[in-house]
């Protein structure tokens, strides 16, 4: 009997293809993705008082200050007319505001027009794009635990540049049209990556996503495939199969009346703040929305009529990122706690990790949802996440230096001992929600 939980010692396991992609190092040698992920993952020693996923997850409501990160905000206007509206992007800066702006999250001010006009640079600093969890934002403590060691000037790469893409209406931003965000809202991320490539042509780009943001990021990576501009990415506490996770929440008292109710309440408050814009959709019943208690009810009353889904189950199946994992063609490191009560273990696509050599999953036996609290308040997941990004940025050659450095990878077609290959193919990012556009991701 394993009694490691009594001491806060979580078991750690890795799940990946038999041969992961080969990556050239700056020293001229080669390494593999799984070797990198294993080398940067420390022993998982957590707070023994928080000995299961519920306690770990519950501890997130104890709001410590967390690492201070200062931001400057810019409002972006969507360039894709199918997803018209605005969204807020918060850029990490070292210039602390002289006085707080109460219309924004803490330590956040707006760029002036002159400041933003001169934001472009030819430098080669690594740059991180972050996607937060459901109803969160750049202010979230879990997100700042990763940003703080990367942007520090004494970091191995001399201080990363970083930004956070806030989902529409989150982090005290405005919703300006009837277009909200959902679990597969990759359009704002796509626009930001394109913008970064134009403004910072020499910066290697990386990304990290948390919870719902992890699902969005994985979908984005799968949709982009070999055309992806990112060098590598990390996802933490991804719910992967949204219908599976939703049903798991609904079948227990804690899942339904604590987690689902809390998330549903947060999303309901977001709609209440922006109801004038949201109601422009015309097919949303505000009276029914005001009776929402749980997250799946929110998705039924808001996401379904907004995006044309007949049921929340149809939405969940279409927006899930488990299949998109098979389309990922850049190094991806996923971190998951097997006792996560929200992004449940039964929803993790373990088999898909075993066939895509561009992906590695690190699973710990304990940790909860975006938690992994250590003694002292640190969050364990931030250590392998930042170490992976640092190693990829400092020791692995940019893909633009040698586009042929990665093996051709995904064994998506079944074959038997005779060498027969099926003539049929699987499209991992083919979605059912369509827009009147030629865009393949619509």
CA distances from 142 to 13, 210, 385, 402 (A): 22, 9, 12, 34
CA distance 51 to 129: 32
Question: Which of these, 43, 6, 4, lies nearest to 380 by C-alpha position?
Answer: 43
Q: What are phi and psi of 363, to 5 degrees?
A: -115, 130
Q: Which two tokens stand for residue 378?
A: 């640190």
- What does 194-213 look like in DSSP terms, one character per residue? HHHHHH-TTPPEEEEEETHH
Question: Which of these, 195, 192, 194, 184, lies nearest to 222 by C-alpha position?
Answer: 184
Sign of CA dihedral 184, 185, 187, 193: negative
Q: Which residues pair with 162 in a beta bridge?
A: 128
In a 3-state reduction of DSSP, which class is residue 134?
coil
Q: Which residues pair with 14 in a beta bridge?
A: 362
Whether the CB-CB separation of 131 and 143 falls below 8 Å is answered with no
141 Cβ neighbours under 8 A, 6+ residues apart: 60, 63, 64, 66, 67
Supply the residues annotated as catalytic: 211, 340, 369
CA distances from 370 to 51, 60, 211 (A): 15, 8, 7
Q: What are phi and psi of 207, to 5 degrees?
A: -145, 155
Q: Where are the alpha helices (DSSP H) in 172-260?
A: 187-199, 212-224, 242-250, 253-254
Whether the CB-CB separation of 120 and 197 falls below 8 Å is answered with no
């Amino acid at each position: 009997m394993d009694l490691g939980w009594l001491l806060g010692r979580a078991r750690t396991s890795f799940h990946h293809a038999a041969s992961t992609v080969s990556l050239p190092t700056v020293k001229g040698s080669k390494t593999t993705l799984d070797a990198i992920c294993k080398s940067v993952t420390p022993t998982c020693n957590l707070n023994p008082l928080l000995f299961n996923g519920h306690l770990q997850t519950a501890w997130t409501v104890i709001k410590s200050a967390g690492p201070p990160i200062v931001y400057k905000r810019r409002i972006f206007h969507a360039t894709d007319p199918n997803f018209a509206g605005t969204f807020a992007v918060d850029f990490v800066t070292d210039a602390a505001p002289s006085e707080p702006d109460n219309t924004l999250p803490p330590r956040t001010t707006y760029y002036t027009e002159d400041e933003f006009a001169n934001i472009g640079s030819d430098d080669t600093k690594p740059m991180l794009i972050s996607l937060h969890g459901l109803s969160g934002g750049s202010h979230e403590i879990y997100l700042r635990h990763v940003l703080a060691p990367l942007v520090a000037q004494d970091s191995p790469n001399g201080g990363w540049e970083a930004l956070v893409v806030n989902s529409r209406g989150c982090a005290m931003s405005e919703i300006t049209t009837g277009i909200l965000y959902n679990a597969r809202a990759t359009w704002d991320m796509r626009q930001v990556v394109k913008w970064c490539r134009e403004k910072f042509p020499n910066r290697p780009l990386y990304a990290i996503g948390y919870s719902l943001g992890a699902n969005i990021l994985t979908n984005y990576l799968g949709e982009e495939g070999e055309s992806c501009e990112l060098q590598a990415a990390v996802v933490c506490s991804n719910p992967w199969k949204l219908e599976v996770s939703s049903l798991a929440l609904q079948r227990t008292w804690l899942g339904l009346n604590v987690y689902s109710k809390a998330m549903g309440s947060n999303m309901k408050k977001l709609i209440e703040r922006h109801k004038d814009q949201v109601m422009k959709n015309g097919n949303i019943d505000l009276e029914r929305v005001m009776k929402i208690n749980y997250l799946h009810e929110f998705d039924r009353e808001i996401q379904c009529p907004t995006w044309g889904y007949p049921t929340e189950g149809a939405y969940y199946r279409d927006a899930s990122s488990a299949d998109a994992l098979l389309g990922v063609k850049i190094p991806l490191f996923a971190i998951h706690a097997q006792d996560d009560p929200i992004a449940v273990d039964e929803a993790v696509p373990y088999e898909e990790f075993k066939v895509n050599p561009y992906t590695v999953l690190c699973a710990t036996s304990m940790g909860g949802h975006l938690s992994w609290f250590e003694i002292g308040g640190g969050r364990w997941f931030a250590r392998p996440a930042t170490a992976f990004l640092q190693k990829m940025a400092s020791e692995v050659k940019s893909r633009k230096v040698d586009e042929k450095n990665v093996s051709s990878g995904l064994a998506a077609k079944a074959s038997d001992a005779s060498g027969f290959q099926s003539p049929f193919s699987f499209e991992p990012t083919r979605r059912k929600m369509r827009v009147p556009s030629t865009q393949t991701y619509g």
